[in-house]
Amino acid sequence: MSVDLSQDYFALFGLPRRFFIDDAALEAAWHELQSRVHPDRYAHLPDSEKRMSMQWATRVNEGFATLRKPLSRAQYLLELAGVDSGLETNTAMSPEFLMEQMEWREAVEEAREAGEMGELEQLHHRLRQHAREVLGGLAHQLDEARDYAAAADTVRRLMFVERLQHDIDEALEALEE
């Protein structure tokens, strides 16, 4: 039994290298691989095989964590395509996008300060819908158009959306206390 540690995560899980993946197939492949490489199965073997099992299990878990979340999966696809998404260095965004983000943030802050849970839930719902639209565009950029520069820009935008979703979640939690 072995796992090829040099395979990309898609090959490791037997999935096509695409943004849209079958979540159930990913989950099933992860469970199957975990059962094959789990360190407990190798506890009675020499240390070298125990270490190898730990490496396999780590690789399988890292791959699963990367592929199950759309943002990290998109970043990984860009990496495989040799594209630097510029997450740390490229923070330039269109004025329209920045204005939209400011409006979202202001609306969240106003609802938080007013203690309007219903408004925060509505914002959360609208933002989730917006995120689905952005993800659909990202899927097209990565899977059909292979427009990696546009996809890198969309990934950066999606990071803003995820942060805003997190902020809304925190505001809702604070109001529930």
Give 5-17 pLDDT, tens digit per residue.
689 999 999 999 9
Please tell me the distance from the alpha carbon of residue 141 to that of residue 63, in angstroms, as a whole number.
22
Q: What is the CATH number of domain 9-68?
A: 1.10.287.110
> Residue-wise over 107-128: b if at least 16 C-beta within 10 A, else e?
bbeebbeeeeeebbeebbeebe
Give the pLDDT of residue 39. 79
Say which range, 36-45, 118-127, 149-158, has the weakest mean pLDDT: 36-45
Predicted TM-score of the model (pTM):
0.85
Q: Which fold has domain 95-176?
A: Monooxygenase (1.20.1280)
| Average pLDDT, rounded, for the chain | 90
Q: And the tokens for 107? A: 């609306």
Please tell me the distance from the alpha carbon of residue 58 to that of residue 54, in angstroms, as a whole number.
6
Please tell me the distance from the alpha carbon of residue 127 to that of residue 107, in angstroms, as a whole number.
12
Give the pLDDT of residue 40. 80
In the chain, domain spans: 9-68, 95-176
Cβ–Cβ < 8 Å for 60, 124: no
Please tell me the distance from the alpha carbon of residue 31 to that of residue 61, in angstroms, as a whole number.
10
Closest CA to 142 of 58, 74, 68: 74
Q: Angle at the Cα of 130 (from 152 to 123), degrees rounded to 5?
A: 130
Report the half-sphere exposure of 135 (CA within 13 A, side-chain side): 17
Give the pLDDT of residue 169. 94
Alpha helices in 115-147 (DSSP H): 117-139
Q: Do domains 9-68 and 95-176 have the same CATH topology?
A: no
Give the pLDDT of residue 152. 93
Q: Which pLDDT band, with edges at 50, 70 and 90, does 164 fall under?
A: very high
